[in-house]
Structure 1
Amino acid sequence: MVISTFLQDPMVHLASAGGLALLLGSAGLHKFRDGQGFARVLQGYGAVFGGHLMGRTQSLLRVLVPSLELLAAASVLMSVWLPLAALPAVLLLALYAGVLALGARRGAAIEDCGCHWGGRPQAPSRGLVWRNLVLLLPALNLMLPAQGRPLVWFDAITLVGAVFSGLAFYLLANLLIANRTSLQELSEP
């Protein structure tokens, strides 16, 4: 029961909500700012999934996906008070994991997964699927109510440290996944 008490601590909820809001919000803004790059990503997924993401569907997804990411970012912040508000983030992260899994299974026809902030493109892989499944865990935890313990001044310091640590782990995971993909490309004849 100690782990369930820890998971329902308001600081765990605040850190999870802050980290997921930062991740989803920045991803949505990045897609809006680089609309042409996101259109190329959608073309790659469209080619692998039978060409169904062309024309109007692609134009719709180009606006809909980043809008949903921004909505999910706002919803996880509200989940601290209203746990069911985390549902859009849960559904979006699960959908992304599924799409990445299908893309990775169908091969390297997709050059870029569309799930990074610049740098070099990264093809869908099992590592990215696992990364999204791990991100799904704190989003699912946000759907449970937090305990009502009072927050103290030291919780603010803890919150900043937890969010920055989570960001560092996320960036490190992306770097390791990208390096593994690069090593595999180098080892292929």
Structure 2
Amino acid sequence: MIDPLVVLALQGFLATLLVVEGGRKLAPGNNFRAALASYGMVPRSLLPLAATLLALAEILSGMMLAVSIAAPFVLVIMLSYLAVIVRSISSGLAVADCGCSFGKRPSPLSRWHVVRAAVLAAASAIVYLNMPSSPTDWRSVQAVPAIGCLWLLYLACDQMISTAARLEPGDA
């Protein structure tokens, strides 16, 4: 059994990540539509709708996860992202920007995106398999510093992935 505090921290991190990422994808001036187009999975005529629906799905699932009701959906989202990244890399598709980076510079798709997506999928599975029975309890307050630490770790990894792509373009 995994410590409930660990599950709450992962749940809080994933919930805020989805809400923030979804909001970022809807923000004016964001290149998410272009990034989505580069995967070649959505017809051009449906790109605006698909980009908006994906971003809204992230926001809604993050909000629902925060109150303990969307863990299966979040797991499906994370596994889907992992599958798309693996498919794109294994087929040799050159994706200039993953569409998932917080940086202002494009983050070309690399094996490090697979690692990050796999870790996020594993965290989602842990939350799904160990969802607390009550959405909030006294441990929720204790989870806040852990959520902050997870965010710092995520942002540091995001920066390292982006930097690795610029330093070693052929091997990133």
TM class, shorter-length: 0.7 to 0.9
Tell me, yes or no, if structure 1 residue 60 matches structure 2 residue 54.
no
Q: Percent identity?
A: 27
- Aligned-pair CA distance for 1:135: 1.0
Per the normalisation by structure 1, the TM-score is 0.78
* Segments ≥4 residues shifted beyond 6 Å: none
Unaligned runs of 5+ in 2: none
State the partner residue of 2:132.
146
- Greater percentage in helix: 1
Tell me, yes or no, if structure 1 residue 13 matches structure 2 residue 2.
no
The answer to whether the Cα contact below 8 Å between 1:44 and 1:111 also exists between their aligned partners in 2 is yes
Tell me, yes or no, if structure 1 residue 37 matches structure 2 residue 42.
no
Distance 1:61 1:138 in 2: 26
Other structure's SS at 1:181 match: helix
Distance 1:17 1:147 in 2: 13
Identify the match of residue 126 of structure 1 among 111, 115, 122.
111
User: Deviations along 1:62-89, whole A, 9 cap, x unmatched?
Assistant: 211001101210221122xx5xx21111
State how many pairs are aligned: 170
The answer to whether the Cα contact below 8 Å between 2:94 and 2:109 also exists between their aligned partners in 1 is no
Distance 1:71 1:175 in 2: 26
- Aligned-pair CA distance for 1:117: 2.1
**For 1:1-189, what aligned pairs fall within 5 Å after superposition?**
4-6=1-3, 9=4, 11-34=5-28, 37-46=31-40, 49=41, 52-55=42-45, 57-79=46-68, 82=69, 85-107=70-92, 109-143=94-128, 144-146=130-132, 152=138, 156=141, 158-185=142-169
Unaligned runs of 5+ in 1: none
- Aligned-pair CA distance for 1:35: 6.2
Structure scoring higher RCO (CA < 8 A, sep ≥ 6) equals 2
The answer to whether the Cα contact below 8 Å between 1:15 and 1:159 also exists between their aligned partners in 2 is yes
The answer to whether the Cα contact below 8 Å between 1:112 and 1:121 also exists between their aligned partners in 2 is yes
- Aligned-pair CA distance for 1:36: 5.5
Distance 1:74 1:97 in 2: 21
- Structure 1 residues 151, 24: CA separation in 2 closer, same or farther (over 3 Å shift)? closer
The answer to whether the Cα contact below 8 Å between 2:18 and 2:58 also exists between their aligned partners in 1 is yes
